[in-house]
């Protein structure tokens, strides 16, 4: 049971968006407005992140995912992490997802913060098998350049395959700025027997600080065309943001032309990013 099977039936590449749920100043009303603007673009699904740490409202993910399905008739994927979780907290999360009518879950380990102990779920694959047994359509994370804590390219692919074996029926990648990394990773994954669709996660760079924080967190490379754009527009934030979105759109169009399994845009709750992405892809499909 893969959400990608339904999406593919439309006869074009599945396109999906990621948003984050209410936190801090972001209220449910604002999240509703963001989701509504994304839904107008008719994505195949919208995924909603989950706050792994002590901060953030853990129920907010299910609330927003439910709202997306109920108010906008777009399939939702709820992220769920297992770092620090116990059998009991996961059972509660499962009940909560069911009560919210959520069938699709992106199962992640998350990253330990503060006092989080390793817990009963060591790796994402433990959560994947638990959720697959419960009948959810389960997706998982994939790392074209390897996870930040994994230097071994072969182990990176082995861990991916383990996730599929545990029951993951689709993957979404970590962001990358050089599509060549993805093409090599995709080929290695296929050679290792990974048959589940792997959607490419693309995040535009919007500013120097944002992108530095991201690459330090996830270990993605900044190729020289990106570094040059960051240098050229250093003192012109609006132009830099525009250049970042254009660069992401060009990545999406190139990936689409290579026939990838799906395209997933990290919108950072900024609907203009989703609009520009969809416009670029639609123009490519018409051409
Ligand atoms: P795992 O697959 O468990 O991997 C964690 C580490 O363990 C990696 O280094 C891996 O190589 C290693 N490993 C895996 N299996 C084995 C094994 N059998 N033996 C030895 N080592 C192993 N975080 C959030 O908190 N909330 C979110 O909503 C969220 N959404 C995300 C969405 C996407 C698409 C991606 C790519 C990441 C997301 N993350 C999110 C971040 C994610 O939680 C972190 O990247 C985390 O560090 C790893 O999660 P994972 O599910 O890949 O873990």
Q: Dihedral of the CA atoms 217, 221, 224, 226 (nearest 10)? A: -50
Q: Tell me if 49 CB under 6 Å of ligand 1.
A: yes
pLDDT, tens only, 117-151: 667 899 999 999 999 999 999 999 999 999 999 99
Is the beta carbon of 19 within 6 A of some atom in ligand 1? no
Helix (H) or strand (E) holding 17: strand 15-19
Does the Cβ of 138 fall within 6 Å of ligand 1? Answer: no
Mean pLDDT for all residues in the chain: 93
pLDDT of residue 117: 63
Does any ligand 1 atom lie closer than 6 A to the CB of residue 260?
no
Q: What is the mean pLDDT of residues 219-229?
A: 96
| Alpha-carbon radius of gyration of the chain | 18
Beta strands in 174-272 (DSSP E): 198-202, 262-266
Distance CA 28, CA 19 (A): 12
- How far is the C-alpha of 234 from the C-alpha of 159, rounded, in Å? 38
Q: Which residue owns the Cα nearest ligand 1 atom 22? A: 159
**Sign of the alpha-carbon torsion through 161, 167, 169, 175:** negative
CA dihedral 238, 243, 246, 248 (to 10 degrees): -110
Half-sphere exposure in the Cβ direction for 16 (13 Å, CA):
30
**Any ligand 1 atom below 6 A from CB of 111:** yes
pLDDT tens per residue, range 149-204 = 999 999 999 999 999 999 999 999 999 999 999 999 999 999 999 999 999 999 99
Report CA(48)–ligand 1 centroid distance (Å).
16
Average the pLDDT over each of 17-26, 69-78, 217-226 and give the range with the smallest value: 17-26
> Which residue matches tokens 């992490």?
81
> What is the C-alpha separation between 40 and 188, in angstroms, rounded?
36
% of the chain exceeding 90 in pLDDT:
86
Nearest-CA residue for ligand 1 atom 45 is 110
The pLDDT of residue 57: 67
Beta bridge partners of 200: 263
- Asked whether 58 lines ligand 1 (CB < 6 A), one says no
Compute the distance between CA of residue 242 and CA of residue 263 in angstroms, rounded to an integer.
20
Ligand 1 centroid to residue 125 C-alpha, Å: 9
Ligand 1 proximity of 108 Cβ (cutoff 6 Å): yes
CA 111 to ligand 1 center in whole angstroms: 8
Query: Which pTM was predicted?
Result: 0.96
Task: For residue 61, give the nearest of 35, 87, 25 by alpha carbon.
Answer: 35
DSSP, res 268: T
**pLDDT at position 269, please?**
95
CA distances from 18 to 92, 121, 140, 162, 163 (A): 24, 25, 14, 24, 21
Q: What is the pLDDT of residues 74-118, one digit of tens each?
A: 999 999 999 999 999 999 999 999 999 999 999 999 988 765 566
pLDDT given at position 147: 97
94 CA to centre of ligand 1 in angstroms = 19
- For ligand 1, what atom is nearest to the CA of residue 264? 34
Q: With a cut of 60, say whether residue 232 has pLDDT above it.
A: yes
pLDDT of res. 88: 95
Which of 79, 81, 141 is the best mutation target for the ligand 1 pocket, counting ligand atoms within 8 Å of the beta carbon and taking the most?
Answer: 141
- Biggest distance spanned by C-alpha atoms of the chain: 53
Dump pLDDT digits (tens) for 39-87. 999 999 999 999 865 555 677 999 999 999 999 999 999 999 999 999 9
Q: How many CA atoms lie within 13 A of 107 on its CB side?
A: 34
pLDDT for 53 equals 56
**Taking residues 217-243, what's their average pLDDT?**
96
| Catalytic residue status for 18 | yes
At 184 the pLDDT is 98
162 lines ligand 1 (CB under 6 A): yes
By alpha-carbon position, which residue is closest to atom 16 of ligand 1? 159
Q: Choose the CATH number for 1-286 among 3.40.50.300, 3.20.20.220, 3.40.50.11400, 3.40.630.40.
A: 3.20.20.220
Distance 234 CA to ligand 1 centre (A): 32
């Amino acid at each position: 049971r893969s959400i990608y099977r339904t999406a593919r039936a439309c006869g074009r590449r599945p396109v999906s968006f990621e948003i984050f749920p209410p936190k801090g100043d972001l209220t449910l009303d604002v999240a509703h407005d963001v989701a509504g603007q994304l839904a107008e673009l008719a994505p195949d699904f919208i995924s909603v992140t989950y706050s792994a740490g002590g901060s953030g409202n853990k129920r907010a993910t299910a609330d927003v995912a439910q709202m997306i399905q109920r108010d906008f008739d777009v399939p939702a994927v709820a992220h769920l992490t297992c770092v620090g979780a116990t059998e009991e907290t996961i059972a509660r999360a499962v009940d909560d997802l069911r009560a919210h009518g959520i069938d699709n879950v992106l199962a992640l380990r998350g990253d330990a913060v503060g006092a989080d102990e390793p817990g009963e779920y060591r790796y994402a694959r433990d959560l994947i098998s638990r959720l697959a047994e419960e009948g959810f359509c389960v997706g998982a994370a994939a790392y074209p350049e390897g996870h930040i804590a994994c230097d071994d390219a072969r182990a990176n692919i082995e861990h991916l395959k383990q996730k599929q074996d545990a029951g993951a029926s689709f993957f979404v990648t970590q962001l990358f700025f050089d599509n060549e990394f993805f093409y090599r990773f995709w080929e290695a994954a296929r050679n290792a027997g990974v048959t589940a669709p792997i959607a490419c996660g693309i995040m535009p760079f919007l500013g120097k600080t944002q992108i530095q924080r991201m690459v330090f967190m996830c270990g993605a490379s900044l190729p020289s065309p990106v570094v040059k754009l960051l240098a050229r527009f250093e003192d012109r934030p609006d132009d830099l943001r525009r250049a970042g979105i254009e660069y992401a759109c060009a990545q999406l169009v190139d990936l689409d032309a290579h026939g990838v399994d799906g395209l997933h845009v990290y919108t950072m709750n900024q609907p203009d990013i989703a609009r520009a992405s969809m416009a670029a892809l639609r123009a490519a499909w018409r051409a």
